[in-house]
Amino acid sequence: EDHAAGVSGVQWSELSVHQADLAALRSMDDLMLLYGIPEAQWPEMSAMLRERFFFDGWPSATGLADGDVIDLGGVTVRLIHAPGHTSGHSVYRVEPDGVLVLGDIDLTGFGPYYGDASSSLEDFETTLAKVREIEAAHYVTFHHKGVVEGHAAFAAAVDSYATAIQRRTDDLLALLAGGPQTFDQLLATGIVYRAGTRPPLFGESVERHSIERHLA
């Protein structure tokens, strides 16, 4: 939703996304299913997405697959499937400029986000190993970090970013070290958000999905 905030403000003839995320781009209800938040929260969450990101679903959107190339006339954009954040998350290689657009592999201190129903921790780890090897001149993140120049700096940033996964595992083990806890007790503390920063609409679902994946 946050990556589609400008779609309603421009004229476009075709809107596309990886086919695994297509339903969520076409329909608000399917986006709610992708998140995996309780149905009782759908109305409030939907209203927030419409107000903040102008998202209401685009039924005419079409699907892309790994390796598909969009020719923009002198510039090509190749989709590289990079699941984990969502099942259809992808990065985009822009040539001849040597740009890799990373989407939600944002390289921030927050670490990888795999807290939606369609997310996968295992896929995210595989994706990080895969994209780390992609040579480019410029690596463009979507949140906070901006542009990383050169492969050496990018590889180091990926390595640092990935440490959040082990940190969350360590935090979960520390919670369990004091004795048995119910899942609800683990959920009350959490391993993703710092105390007092959990988003009210979806934060509990993110913690729930993330803890489940670290316990698996």
The angle that helices 28-35 and 42-53 make with each other, rounded to 10 degrees, is: 110
> With a threshold of 0.85, does the pTM exceed it?
yes
110-143 confidence digits (pLDDT tens) = 999 999 999 999 999 999 999 999 999 999 999 8
Evaluate whether 18 touches 88 at the Cβ level (below 8 Å). Answer: yes
DSSP structure class, residue 194: P
User: What does DSSP say about strands 90-95 and 147-149: parallel, antiparallel, or unpaired?
Assistant: unpaired
Confidence class of residue 11 from pLDDT cuts 50, 70 and 90? confident
Whether 164 has a pLDDT exceeding 90, the answer reads yes
Neighbours of 206 (CB within 10 A): 22
Tens-place pLDDT, residues 62-117: 999 999 999 999 999 999 999 999 999 999 999 999 999 999 999 999 999 999 99
Tell me the residue length of the chain. Answer: 216
Q: How many Å apart are CA 172 and CA 190, to the nearest integer?
A: 8
E strand segments, 15-119? 16-18, 62-64, 69-71, 76-81, 90-95, 99-103
Tens of pLDDT, residue by residue over 165-201, are 999 999 999 999 989 999 999 999 999 998 889 999 9
Per DSSP, the three-state class of 36 is: coil
The one-letter code for the residue type at 203 is: G
The full set of domain ranges for the chain reads 2-63, 65-215
Domain 65-215 indexed as CATH 3.60.15.10: yes
